[in-house]
Amino acid sequence: MKKTTILFDLDGTLVNTEEGVDKSVRYTLEKYGMKEPDRNTVRRFIGPLLVDSFQREYGFSREKAEEADLIFRERYETIGLFECELFPGVKEALKILKEKGYKISVASSKEEVPCQRILERLGIAEYFDLICGARLKENIGEKAEVLNDALKRLGISDKKEAVLIGDSRYDARGAKEAGIDCIGVSYGFEEDLEEMRKAGVKEIFDTLAQVIEYLESAD
């Protein structure tokens, strides 16, 4: 079935947010007197919920991870949010998809307001029918929850119409849990593309131009 609705992950798919996340993770760890993380550790913070990442990477308790999340936000939401840039070809790809009549949405585990601010700052917010992110006060944070929320708000009842484009195993896993297809891109923050394949991604491409070609060729 030909897709009519394209859901985009944000970090690692549309936007290179590594600088802002890197500096904000370092800022957080300094508060705890901990050594600076290596680059691979930082990159694993990009995408999943921060509370989960602090527990996974540093063995923090849930309570300590929630505290660390607040410290991270002190810097990220004032400075780090804007230490980012579009990946090559993103704006052109969004323009083409819009011209072809696709419904386009962001579906990110990053909170919704920061997503909106980033996309407005980078000049691409206008291409989206919806910018959907985590809304933790409403218990919407996991990738599958965000995806289901986006489809509901877009009025999509047939999940076969939708596809998520993402860069990580977390995207592929979340899409599978939500019951939609996932197409991967190789230029993001996933360390091991085989992990994305194991998580259920349908195809992996090097550019968004190749993704569009694939979508257009599908029956």
Q: What CATH number did the domain enclosing 99 receive? A: 3.40.50.1000
Does residue 206 share a domain with residue 100?
yes
Q: Is the pLDDT of residue 219 over 70?
A: no
* The domain boundary residue, chosen from 29, 58, 82: 82
Q: Is the pLDDT of residue 1 over 90?
A: no
> Model confidence over 70-116: pLDDT tens digits?
999 999 999 999 999 999 999 999 999 999 999 999 999 999 999 99
Does residue 121 share a domain with residue 137?
yes
SS3 for the chain, per residue?
Answer: CCCCEEEECCECCCEECHHHHHHHHHHHHHHCCCCCCCHHHHHCCCCCCHHHHHHHHHCCCHHHHHHHHHHHHHHHCCCHHHCCEECCCHHHHHHHHHHCCCEEEEEEEEEHHHHHHHHHHCCCHHHCCEEEEEEHHHCECCHHHHHHHHHHHHCCCCHHHEEEEECCHHHHHHHHHHCCEEEEECCCCCCCHHHHHHCCCCEEECCHHHHHHHHHHCC
pLDDT of residue 49: 83
* The domain boundary residue, chosen from 61, 82, 103: 82
Record the pTM. Answer: 0.91
Does residue 112 share a domain with residue 9?
yes
pLDDT of residue 144: 97
Does residue 24 share a domain with residue 46?
yes
Does residue 171 share a domain with residue 104?
yes
Structurally, how many domains does the chain consist of? 2
Residue type, 20: G
pLDDT of residue 114: 92
Arithmetic mean of pLDDT over the chain = 95
Instruction: Tell me the residue range of the domain where 54 lies.
Output: 18-82
Segment 4-32 shows an average pLDDT of 96
